[in-house]
């Protein structure tokens, strides 16, 4: 009979972060995998980051997680996205070597003290009353075994009752060549969980030697590349190019002619797919006005000849995939290594979870990742991290840990999931974060690493690095405000090169850097003074953004503080929500139904947004002021 503090079910990206963080916090941890050789497998696109997702990776890293460091060590192309837009929406992305990514993560797991990997499948949870006690497994040798634990984290990904579709052919499996988990979702339903059915998909894999890349546009990575981790990682592998191309009318016609053979349109697939990452047949049907769709051809690994054609996820039959892919420029002679397919799987309704990702149904049971209705490696890893932290805290008898939506993208995502639920696979976007100007990639360590230190997830060296960086930022900000620059020849030349009017009077460096056309490094280069410290690229970026957006960031901080105070406001018991302007019909109905006593109670109701709280607060204050004037 085995006993552990924490058991983690599933070795995907959520499971890896959950198991690592639990063990690093000192809890004895067991990671259960149906195939340990597939731990950290990149089953779809071999990339990390992206718009909104890069912010999640940075936050995982700031909290002591592994994804950012693993991406740095195994990335083969790094790119910053949205660089022509504001700092709030700029995000990092890297193309990873999928083999090296999985192998390095497996090595980290193997070398982590207090973490053991178990080869088997979980068939049932051991529950007494409404408290988790452990798991019942079927080992890879066919033997049944019970494992006891103080907390259990389920990170089953897309494997619960999973079915794969290619055309009208279907087979059981959560990923190519891997069996589904068949007993767990039924067991969760028996425990009172509401289950949903979702769908995801992946494109065919193409052999690089059969593709004519000269008909495509080469896409190189950034030089020098921006790494994800704030700590001691490095970009270790050679950097490669990806290639841009487009579908065309011939591609689209081949798809339209065969829609009746698509399980998506024939009714075979019942699960709901991701709106923001649709299959190519969905794109052709839902956007008939578009005569082409953008595709990126991305190498899967340095020692592999497989190409991932990003943008043509499909479940159409193999012969149709042959036809429409060969209509893409450069692909007329293409050879397909593996055909695309869709996966249907069970997930839970995340509204049944607390903000800690602990189940409301079963104490000590946590869930993280795609099992909660999300899509993407990054969303999964972030949930796994929070679930793992809280499972370890519970096993140690310590208070739970949560993040708010005002301080992190992770907090935004978990609040969205647990408050609003899902009706399609959830994907993170910068637009979901109301305070995205304050929740940037560059300042994730300043926002969150103090939590990691308190949890014991950062080393003494990392603590020193963080404190030194914060000190440098503060000292440089003071220096920029106090240091004035005269209109020297060098300064005037810089202004002229940017098409700006010449300087008439001296200005402090801070006011010059506030100009959109000027950067911190450029202004320091033409000044005759020395900055208080040598600035690395990441620190210089943080300082420049804070200077340029100082007024906006200050207003956002005031708004965050105001909302915190609003949540203590009492709501009159006689308030008629139909009289409150700015509330949607759905919000009014929910407020009438639950009759919250305070704005804090209202905030905990699914679907009541910060905007609704502000409207409600304004209405209450207005009525209170009117009553006060009447009484006076």
The predicted pLDDT at position 89 comes to 87
What does CATH list as the number for 2-200+345-448?
3.50.50.60
> Which among 342, 248, 246, 254 has a CA at the least distance from the CA of 294?
246
Write b or e for each residue in 120-154: b if 16 or more Cβ atoms lie within 10 A of its Cβ, otherwise e. Answer: bbbebbebeeeebbbbebbeeeeeeeebebbbbbb
Tens of pLDDT, residue by residue over 150-179, are 999 999 888 888 888 898 888 888 777 777
Quick one: tokens of 580? Answer: 């409150």
- Domain 460-554 listed as CATH 3.30.300.10: no
User: What whole-number distance in Å separates Cα of residue 75 and Cα of residue 568?
Assistant: 46
Residue 95 · residue 107 · CB < 8 Å: no
**So where are the chain's domains?**
2-200+345-448, 205-342, 460-554, 567-631
| Three-state DSSP class for residue 268 | coil
User: Rounded mean pLDDT of 473-484?
Assistant: 94
- pLDDT computed for residue 586 by the predictor: 83
Rounded CA separation 9/196 (Å): 19
Q: Please provide the DSSP assignment of 196-216 as one string.
A: EEEEEEE--EEEGGG--GGGS
Task: Could you list the beta-strand ranges (E) of 435-591.
Answer: 484-485, 507-508
Q: 567-631 has which fold?
A: DNA polymerase; domain 1 (1.10.150)
Confidence of residue 629 (pLDDT cuts 50, 70, 90): low
Distance, CA of 300 to CA of 309 (rounded, Å):
10
Percent of the chain predicted with pLDDT > 70: 98
Lowest mean pLDDT among 271-280, 289-298, 491-500: 271-280
Report the predicted TM-score, pTM, of the whole model to 2 decimal places: 0.90
Compare 451 and 602 and report the one with higher pLDDT.
Answer: 451
Q: Residue-wise over 579-599: b if at least 16 C-beta within 10 A, else e?
A: ebeebeeebbebbeeeebeeb
Assign domain 205-342 to its CATH architecture: Beta Barrel (2.40)
What are the pLDDT digits (tens) for 331-355? 999 999 999 999 999 999 999 999 9
pLDDT digits (tens, 9 = 90+) for 559-575: 778 777 776 788 888 89
- Give me the mean pLDDT over the 317-336 stretch: 96
In this structure, of 401-415, 531-545, 618-632, the range with the lowest mean pLDDT score is: 618-632
| Cα–Cα distance measured from residue 4 to residue 165, given in angstroms and rounded to the nearest whole number | 38
Which has the closest alpha carbon to 510: 538, 483, 491, 472? 483
54-66 pLDDT per residue, tens: 999 999 999 999 9
Which region, left, alpha or beta, applies to residue 19 given φ > 0 means left and ψ of -120 to 50 means alpha?
alpha
DSSP conformational letter for 470: H
Residue-averaged pLDDT of the chain? 91
Strand segments, DSSP code E, in 401-449 are: none
Instruction: Encode pLDDT of 187-220 as tens digits.
Output: 898 889 999 999 888 999 999 999 999 999 999 9
Q: Which residues contact 523 (CB under 8 A, 6 or more apart)?
A: 485, 494, 509, 512, 513
At 276 the pLDDT is 67
Of 92, 94, 96, 71, nearest in space to 81 by CA: 92
């Amino acid at each position: 009979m085995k006993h552990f503090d924490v058991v983690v079910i599933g070795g995907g990206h959520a499971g890896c972060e959950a198991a690592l963080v639990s063990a690093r916090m000192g809890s004895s941890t067991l990671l259960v995998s149906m195939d340990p050789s597939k731990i950290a497998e990149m089953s779809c696109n071999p990339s990390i980051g992206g718009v909104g997702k890069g912010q999640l990776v940075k936050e995982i890293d700031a909290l002591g997680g592994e994804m950012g460091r693993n991406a740095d060590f195994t990335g083969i192309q790094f790119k910053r996205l949205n660089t022509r837009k504001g700092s709030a929406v700029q995000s990092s992305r890297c193309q990873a070597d999928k083999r090296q990514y999985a192998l390095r993560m497996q090595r980290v797991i193997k070398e982590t003290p207090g973490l053991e990997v178990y080869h088997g499948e979980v068939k049932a949870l051991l529950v007494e009353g409404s408290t988790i006690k452990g798991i019942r497994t079927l080992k890879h040798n066919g033997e049944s075994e019970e494992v006891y634990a103080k907390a259990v984290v389920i990170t089953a990904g897309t494997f619960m009752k999973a079915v794969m579709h290619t055309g009208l052919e279907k087979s059981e499996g959560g990923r190519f060549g891997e069996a589904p988990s068949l007993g767990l979702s039924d067991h969760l339903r028996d425990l009172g969980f509401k289950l949903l059915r979702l769908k995801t998909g992946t494109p065919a894999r193409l052999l690089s030697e059969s593709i004519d890349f000269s008909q495509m546009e080469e896409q190189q990575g950034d030089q020098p590349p921006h790494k994800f981790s704030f700590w001691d990682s490095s970009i270790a592998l050679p950097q490669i190019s990806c290639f841009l191309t487009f579908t065309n009318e011939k591609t689209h016609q081949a798809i339209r002619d065969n829609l009746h053979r698509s399980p998506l349109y024939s009714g075979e697939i019942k699960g709901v797919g991701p709106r923001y990452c649709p299959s190519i047949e969905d794109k052709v049907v839902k956007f008939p006005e578009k005569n082409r769709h953008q595709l990126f051809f991305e190498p899967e690994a340095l020692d592999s000849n497989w190409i991932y054609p990003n943008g043509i996820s499909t479940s159409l039959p193999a012969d149709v995939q042959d036809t429409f892919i060969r209509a893409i420029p450069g692909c007329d002679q293409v050879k397909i290594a593996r055909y695309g397919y869709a996966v249907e799987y069970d997930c839970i309704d995340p509204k049944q979870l607390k903000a800690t990702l602990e189940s409301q149904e079963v104490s000590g049971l946590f869930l993280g990742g795609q099992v909660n209705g999300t899509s993407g490696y990054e969303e999964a890893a972030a949930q796994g991290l929070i679930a793992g932290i809280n499972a370890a805290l519970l096993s140690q008898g310590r208070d739970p840990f949560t993040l708010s939506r005002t301080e992190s993208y992770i907090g935004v995502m978990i609040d969205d999931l647990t408050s609003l639920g899902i009706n399609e696979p959830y994907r993170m976007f910068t637009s979901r974060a109301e305070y995205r100007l304050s929740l940037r990639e560059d300042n994730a360590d300043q926002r969150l690493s103090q939590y990691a230190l308190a949890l014991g997830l950062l080393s003494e060296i990392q603590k020193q690095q963080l404190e030194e960086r914060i000190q440098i930022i503060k000292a440089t900000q003071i220096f920029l405000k106090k240091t004035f620059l005269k209109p020297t020849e060098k300064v005037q030349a810089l202004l002229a090169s940017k098409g700006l009017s010449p300087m008439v009077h001296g200005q402090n460096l801070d006011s010059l850097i506030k100009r959109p056309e000027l950067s911190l490094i450029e202004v320091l280069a033409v000044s005759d003074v020395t900055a208080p410290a040598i600035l690395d690229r990441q620190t210089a970026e943080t300082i420049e953004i804070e200077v340029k957006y100082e007024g906006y960031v200050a207003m956002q901080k005031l708004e965050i503080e105001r909302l915190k105070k609003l949540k203590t406001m009492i709501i009159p018991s006689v308030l008629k929500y139909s009289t409150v302007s700015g509330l949607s019909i759905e919000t009014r109905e929910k407020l009438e139904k639950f009759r919250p006593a305070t704005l804090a109670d209202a905030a905990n109701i699914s679907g009541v947004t910060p905007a609704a709280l502000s409207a409600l607060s304004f209405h209450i204050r207005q009525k209170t002021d009117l009553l006060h004037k009447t009484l006076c």
